[in-house]
């Protein structure tokens, strides 16, 4: 059976994989690594041997060689092939990847970064420079999404794909941490929540982050 | 004919596309946008209409609808399909994407960021906090590459792929801006330079960055 490594605090990147697996109704095991110990369990030698980058999520495939696959976006791509969550044309797949690369380079680090700073670090412990960087660049990414979604249902080819799953994971928290979220993005967030097999992100066991249930 | 939008200052992201197009011997036109004007030409309405994210590179395909495609990694994926620069198996493509997502999330912003700060902004104009962040996280990414390359020729399946092209673009500058680059990475950089059709990144017209020729 597929094995997913996630973290104890609710990671949007781990959630992306849970959400797709729920849509696909695929059974899997999960190991939640503790990120709040020192060192974090993702930095222990046993885990670094699986992923030298020391990050979650990571999956181990149920194949002959127990293939190890890190990087949430690559995991989504692997699992979505030949399913309704990825277009069948090369250009369609390319456009999905275009938005997934946008999410990793221009969106996640800022939107997820401000969420982490708000709930777990405490904004009072973050420099004005960092706060300004997270806010300005995160808002620019959200504005890019708002412009692109004008007149559209989903990000690519009017179908719900892993590009939507990747972008939903942290965008769902944007307004809670002070970003301005436009009407197109809000309507799109709601359309994602209405998809067959949708599940919410798990609650934070420490209670620092608000529940999304 | 394919049309590539690049910048006047030598962008590693623009260079990735030039390098693959050179390997593939595909003809194309280039428009270099001026990033040093205020506002930068990438922030003018005509360009934002092509890419609301306001970044280069971007290609316009030579198809019936003149399809617009931004994001360097998505462009590489689009162009490399069914060529020797992308594996033919689904798992092979996935492993290539895994390293390309690593490059965009964990590598580029830090290694390219320190290069930009060193040559164009001036390190004296960058806060100690930013400098520390770029140095620490960039070094971590380079160390991850060094560990992965142990005993390997290239990043995926012992073949030269767009994962190598994506990672080469900024790693070639790493030592010049003060990162420690290990023996595995140095030998790999040299193997990339020896590939058929290899071209160097263009010179900086302002002369601020050293030539790589």
Helix%, strand%, coil% for chain A, nearest 5? 50, 10, 40
Q: A184 CB near a chain B CB, below 8 Å?
A: no
CA B55 – CA B60 distance, rounded (Å): 14
A-chain CB neighbours of B134 within 8 Å are none
Q: Are A81 and B93 in contact (CB under 8 A)?
A: no
Please list the pLDDT of chain B residue by residue as tens digits (213 residues).
999 999 999 999 999 999 999 999 999 999 999 998 899 999 999 999 999 999 999 999 999 999 999 999 999 999 999 999 999 999 999 999 999 999 999 999 999 999 999 999 999 999 999 999 999 999 999 999 999 999 999 999 999 999 999 999 999 999 999 999 999 999 999 999 999 999 999 999 888 999 998
B138/B143 Cα distance (integer angstroms): 9
Report which of B80, B138, B143 is spatially closest to residue B105, judged by C-alpha positions.
B138
Interface of A with B in 133-152 (CB under 8 A): 143-144, 147-148
Tens of pLDDT, residue by residue over A82-119, are 999 999 999 999 999 999 999 999 999 999 999 999 99
Q: What is the pLDDT of residue B108?
A: 97
CA-nearest residue of chain A to B96? Answer: A74
Residue A130 C-alpha, separation from nearest chain B C-alpha, in angstroms: 9
A111 within 8 A of A166, measured Cβ to Cβ: no
Alpha-carbon gap: A53 to the closest alpha carbon of chain B (Å): 6
* Domains in chain A: ranges and CATH: 2-80 (3.40.30.10), 90-193 (1.20.1050.10)
A–B: how many Cβ contacts below 8 A?
86
B41 inside 8 A of chain A by CB: no
Residues of B in contact with A72 (CB under 8 A): 101
Task: Quote the CA–CA distance of B167 and B169 in Å, as a whole number.
Answer: 6
For residue B188, what are the CA distances in angstroms to A19, A51, B115, B183?
Answer: 37, 20, 20, 8
Of B52, B77, B143, the CB nearest to A97: B77
Say yes or no: B157 contacts chain A, CB-CB below 8 A: no
Of A70, A78, A90, the CB nearest to B81: A90
Cα(A68)–Cα(B183) distance, integer angstroms: 25
The reply to whether B109 touches chain A by the CB within 8 Å rule is yes
Which residues on A lie below 8 Å from B142 (Cβ)? none
Which among A70, A102, A129 has the least Cβ separation from residue B98?
Answer: A70
Residues in A touching B102 (Cβ below 8 Å): 53, 71
């Amino acid at each position: 059976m597929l094995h997913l490594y996630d973290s104890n605090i609710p990671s949007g990147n781990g959630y992306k994989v849970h959400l797709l697996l729920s849509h696909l109704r695929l059974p899997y095991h999960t190991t939640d690594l503790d990120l709040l110990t020192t060192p974090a369990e993702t930095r222990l030698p046993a885990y670094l041997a699986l992923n030298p980058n020391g990050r979650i999520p990571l999956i181990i495939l149920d194949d002959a060689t127990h293939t190890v696959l890190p990087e949430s976006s690559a995991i989504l791509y692997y699992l979505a092939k030949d399913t309704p969550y990825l277009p069948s044309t090369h250009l369609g797949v390319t456009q999905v990847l275009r938005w997934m690369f946008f999410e990793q380079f221009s969106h996640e680090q800022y939107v997820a970064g401000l969420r982490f700073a708000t709930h777990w670090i405490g904004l009072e412990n973050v420099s004005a420079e960092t706060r300004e960087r997270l806010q300005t660049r995160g808002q620019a990414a959200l504005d890019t999404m708002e412009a692109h979604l004008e007149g559209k249902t989903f990000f690519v080819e009017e179908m719900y794909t892993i590009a939507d799953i990747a972008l939903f994971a942290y965008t769902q928290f944007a307004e809670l941490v002070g970003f301005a979220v436009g009407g197109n993005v809000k309507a799109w967030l709601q359309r994602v929540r209405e998809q067959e097999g949708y599940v919410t992100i798990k609650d934070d066991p420490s209670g620092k982050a608000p529940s999304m249930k």
